[in-house]
Structure 1
Amino acid sequence: MQTRKAALGSAGFFVLAPGGVAGVIPWLLTRWRMEPFWLPLRILGVAVLVLALTVLISAFARFVTEGFGTPAPVAPPDRLVVGGLYRFVRNPMYLAVLSLMLGQTLLFGQWILLPYAAIVSLAFAVMVRFHEEPVLRRDFGTQYDSYRAAVPGWWPRLRPWHQN
């Protein structure tokens, strides 16, 4: 896939998928109203939001620059993406999206987002286990098996993994 086409596809998928799950639906649930809440937790919420958005953008960019594709299932990468944050954890995008929900919870004091985040995290886990992992194993074989054995799916490593 051409880099330009991959970048446009990734940008579109960014708006639709994380934008919907971590933006539109939380807005529908909360209207982003600020409830009375402790200021230090609001500040922590902003920090979590900034960090999560940085991680998410970085992970999406990695699919374009390293994988020559998109995170969207309809236009997957040509190469297994294992660089950048993917050296620490296999699912940085999903973790970033969940962190966006946590950041909004803290910023707005809207606790309704926690059960929503729990439902989304379950959906992510099921999708990864029953769709993504089998597809990656089929498409990338032993390369994916080695990566999967070395890099945890949900809890980041302390030191980056280096491909042999």
Structure 2
Amino acid sequence: MSTVKLHQIIFKVIQEFTGYMWYALVFVFILPYMIILLSRGLDYLIGSAFGVELSGVVSLFTLIPDTVLQLISFAIIAFGVLIILESTLTLARESSGFAFSIAPHYHVNPKKLSQSGWYSKMRHPMAFAYILILVGIGVYIQSLSMVFWFVPLFGGLYLEYLLMVEEKQLMRWFGTEYDSYKTQVPALIPKFRK
């Protein structure tokens, strides 16, 4: 019987913590920041080409008062955060785990397929919520290219990743149960009627 040494346990904890922090760093800070920078740059380039400013002072957003835009963006972001929280709790409660596709750790992988809450309306509610949050940020910074170009582009690429990588893993974990679930529940756009 082998004994686990203290330094091995510490290394494993640090490794897992680093994986989770990297996941959070990428999706909470780096990716939104890059999308914001690219959006503002595209707004500027389009505005320069047509002689108008697309973000800030002159844009389609100026038809709506700033306070209303801020309330709309806050509501969109809050709704996205609530979906993420509810989906996380559903996974933890029903599946006894949580799937981190970027930093997989087998002891936290779902043990059972979640099909209630937001998971009864779409297969990837956290991705949907993340896209909603990006739309809310785009409305807040008043960037047309973020709302109408970068977020849909990112959403399409993210959906492709989900279908090609995460869903294959879910098929390995849950087999025919997931295949049946896939035929009944859409991937990213919520289905509210039965």
Question: Shorter-chain-normalised TM-score: which range?
Answer: 0.7 to 0.9
Q: Is the 8 A contact 1:60 1:71 kept in 2?
A: no
The equivalent residue for 1:124 is 158
Q: How does 1:48-67 map to 2 (within 5 A)?
A: 48-67=76-95
- Hey, what's the Cα distance between the residues in 2 that align with 1:129 and 1:92? 14
SS at match of 2:79: helix
Which residue number in structure 2 is paired with residue 148 of structure 1?
182
Q: Which amino acid aligns with 1:35?
A: G
Q: CA contact under 8 A between 1:68 and 1:78: conserved in structure 2? A: yes
Matches within 5 A, 1:1-164: 13=20, 16-17=22-23, 20-27=26-33, 30=36, 35-36=56-57, 37=62, 38=64, 39=66, 40-73=68-101, 74-75=104-105, 76-114=109-147, 115-159=149-193
Partners of 1:107 and 1:63 in 2: CA distance: 30
TM-score normalised by length of structure 2 = 0.65
Distance 1:81 1:69, change over 3 A: same
Larger radius of gyration: 2
Structure 1: stretches of 5+ with no match in the other structure? 1-8
Pair 125,29 (structure 1): closer, same or farther in 2 beyond 3 Å: closer
> How many aligned positions are there?
149
2:43 aligns to what? none
What is the Cα deviation at residue 16 of structure 1? 4.5
Give the distance between the partners of 2:157 and 2:168, measured in 1 at CA: 16
Q: Which has the higher contact order (CA 8 A, sep 6+)?
A: 1
The whole-number CA distance in structure 2 between the counterparts of 1:106 and 1:18 is 23
Q: Unpaired segments of 5 or more residues in structure 2?
A: 1-15, 41-54
Q: Structure 2 vs 1, CA of residues 18 and 91 (structure 1 numbering), >3 Å: closer, same or farther?
A: farther
Q: Give SS of 1:120's match.
A: helix
Provide TM-score, normalisation by structure 1: 0.76
Q: Equivalents in 1 of 2:24, 2:120: separation in Å?
A: 22
Q: Is the 8 A contact 2:122 2:185 kept in 1?
A: yes
The percentage of counterpart residues that share the same residue type is 21
1:35 & 1:83 partners in 2: Cα distance?
41
Query: Could you say what secondary structure the match of 1:66 adopts?
Result: helix
What is the deviation of 1:61? 2.0
Moved segments of 4+, more than 2 Å? 15-31, 33-42, 110-116
